[in-house]
Copies of this chain bind each other. A is one copy, B any other.
Amino acid sequence: MSKQLKTEIIAVGTELLLGQIANTNAQWLSEQLSLYGINVYSHAVVGDNLMRVEEIFSQAHQRSDVIIVTGGLGPTEDDMTREAFQRISELDMEEHTPSMKKIEKFYEKQGTEMTPNNRRQARVFQGAQVLQNNAGMAPGMIVSHQNKSWIFLPGVPREMKQMTKDHVIPYLKKLTGEEMIIKSMVLRFIGIGESRLEHELSDIIQAQTNPTIAPLAQNNGVIIRLTAKERSKEKANLLLQRIKEQILSRVGTYFYGIDEESIESKVFSLLKAQKKRIAAAESLTGGMFTEKLISIEGASQVCLGGIVCYDTNVKKNLLGVSSETIKSKGTVSEECAVEMAQNICKKLDAHIGISFTGVAGPEPVEGHDAGTVYIAICTEDGDQRVEKMSFQGGRNTIRKRATLKGFELIFEFLK
């Protein structure tokens, strides 16, 4: 039997009332809770003012069963979530030793002196379930008080999200006795637009209610979010698998991964499976391709590194692109891209070389408009391909799109 709990979310922070940031924490929390059938009855935002925080806490304690508070747990005078709750609850506080040790250790390791106000962050209510902060200093807390559940989370989104996933959701599921299981799956595609994808799947999308099917264009391709609701994990997974297969039978050629899998991690897996090592020669992308690949754990198995040859002399002297090519064809050319990819492959003794050359903008280069980009892929066996693209957007949009396209081309090449 599941129990319906009145839940509300309170954000503490004057920066929200000044409009410096939007309350995306409340949005994210609401989305997560709704997945587990927990209804949020209201959001509130209050500034860093003890009296007003206390007032809203009193009201919340009257009207709700579960109160989630974000923000106001930091080290400074402005942070008064703890003080306000102490006033309305009259609960005692104590220093949480593991959290204090963590803070001290941080300052010790940094070699800087800890200012006294940092001690505030380690203070917790007696009897609270202390929620470990893996990403920052201040721990969170779950406090049961007069039959109400108070959940205190940091305002920093990364810290708040980690604690919610690790501790708050399991706690609330136990509290509600929720038996329906919600399972989501994200299918990721590259090389196909949203409207084309929707067109190919229109009958499936229209017919389905469970799982729901939601396509969404993103910066790095298109995703489809599947959400199934069932009485068991197994049943939910079965539903997801069935619809996934149906979708992939239509558009599987553009599919590269599920859930959080990124195109760079997919490329990483393919390189690793094929025991191939890659090196990049990057001009306008400035190291972005290599940087993204190296962001993945274990990158040393597949990525040797590369040369960022932003300057023409670096292309010539270090990378060895011939002066003749640069003189006759220019640096923004198919020929230059191919030489760059060939040379980086040889110089770093890689299996595959990839190169990026083009115009990031805003000004044209060698008569080419901003957005003109050549990407070449060469292998140690002499295999080679090159693509010319015209990207839209500002300087860094062009650079990001070129990098993404590089991953797409390598993916197509390896799959």
Interface of A is mostly: mixed
Interface range for A: 35 or more
Most B-side CB within 10 Å, residue of A24, A215, A310: A310
Closest Cβ of chain B to A405, distance in Å, is 12
Most B-side CB within 10 Å, residue of A18, A23, A34, A287: A287
Which of chain B's residues have a CB closer than 8 A to the CB of A30? 16-19
- In angstroms, Cα B39 to Cα A318, docked, is 59
Closest to A156 in B: B217
Is there an interface contact between B19 and A395, defined as CB atoms closer than 8 Å?
Answer: no
Most B-side CB within 10 Å, residue of A18, A26, A77: A18
Closest to A49 in B: B41
Q: Mark A278-300, 1 if CB is under 8 A from B, else 0.
A: 00101111111111011101011
Is there an interface contact between B392 and A106, defined as CB atoms closer than 8 Å?
Answer: yes
Which of chain B's residues have a CB closer than 8 A to the CB of A171? none
- In angstroms, Cα B75 to Cα A41, docked, is 23
Please report which residues of chain A, range 89-134, place their CB below 8 angstroms from some CB of chain B when the two chains form the complex: 106, 109-110, 112-115, 117-118
- Asked if A368 is at the interface (CB within 8 A of a chain B CB), the reply is no
- Asked if A261 is at the interface (CB within 8 A of a chain B CB), the reply is no
- Asked if A308 is at the interface (CB within 8 A of a chain B CB), the reply is yes
Is there an interface contact between B291 and A285, defined as CB atoms closer than 8 Å?
Answer: yes
Residue in B41, B309, B348 whose beta carbon sits within 8 Å of that of A52 in the complex: B41
Is there an interface contact between B294 and A304, defined as CB atoms closer than 8 Å?
Answer: no
Q: Given A305-B308, A308-B306: A17 and B45 within 8 A (CB)?
A: no
Which of chain B's residues have a CB closer than 8 A to the CB of A45? 26, 42-44
Which of chain B's residues have a CB closer than 8 A to the CB of A67? none
The 9 tightest CB contacts between A and B, nearest first, are A287-B287, A19-B31, A286-B294, A19-B30, A43-B45, A305-B308, A305-B310, A287-B291, A22-B27
Residues of chain A whose beta carbon lies under 8 Å from any beta carbon of chain B: 14-24, 26-34, 39-47, 52, 56, 59, 74-78, 106, 109-110, 112-115, 117-118, 135, 193-196, 198-199, 214-216, 225, 280, 282-291, 293-295, 297, 299-300, 303-311, 313-314, 317-318, 347-349, 360, 362, 390, 392-393, 395-396, 399
